[in-house]
Amino acid sequence: MARIPAGPAGARPGTPPDTSSDALFEITFDGRGVTARPGQSVAAALWAAGILAWRTTREGRRPRGVFCGIGVCFDCLATVNGRPNRRACLVPARPGDAVTTQEGHGHDRLGT
């Protein structure tokens, strides 16, 4: 029994990914262009571009990125289109999205 949801995901095992210019689009991360594919999360697009961290911790300013990948741990919080505290592993990448590094907890009114 296959464990890959090929049908719902639109995957075609054994075929190369669609790299036509129609399928790919761009988002930005801290002003840098990042190529994304339809269906990718923001985290997946950043990972594919070699970007592994997009948040720093409130104390110690330690880098964070994806940890669980399923929206449970909150390590992957990012600011997406000006909205802080977005779980990048759950947010679908959309053409033109602007992702920025989130410093601390993302709430200016609480201080850092």
- Overall pTM > 0.85: no
* 5-58 per-position pLDDT tens digit: 444 445 455 555 565 656 899 999 999 999 999 999 999 999 999 999 999 888
Q: How many domains does the chain have?
A: 1
- Domain with 69, as residue range(s), is 21-103
CATH of the domain at 32: 3.10.20.440
φ, ψ dihedrals at 109, nearest 5°: -65, -20
* 82-110 per-position pLDDT tens digit: 999 999 999 999 999 999 999 876 654 44
Q: How far is CA 78 from CA 8, 9, 15, 33, 101, in A?
A: 27, 25, 32, 16, 6
Structural domain includes residue 25 = yes
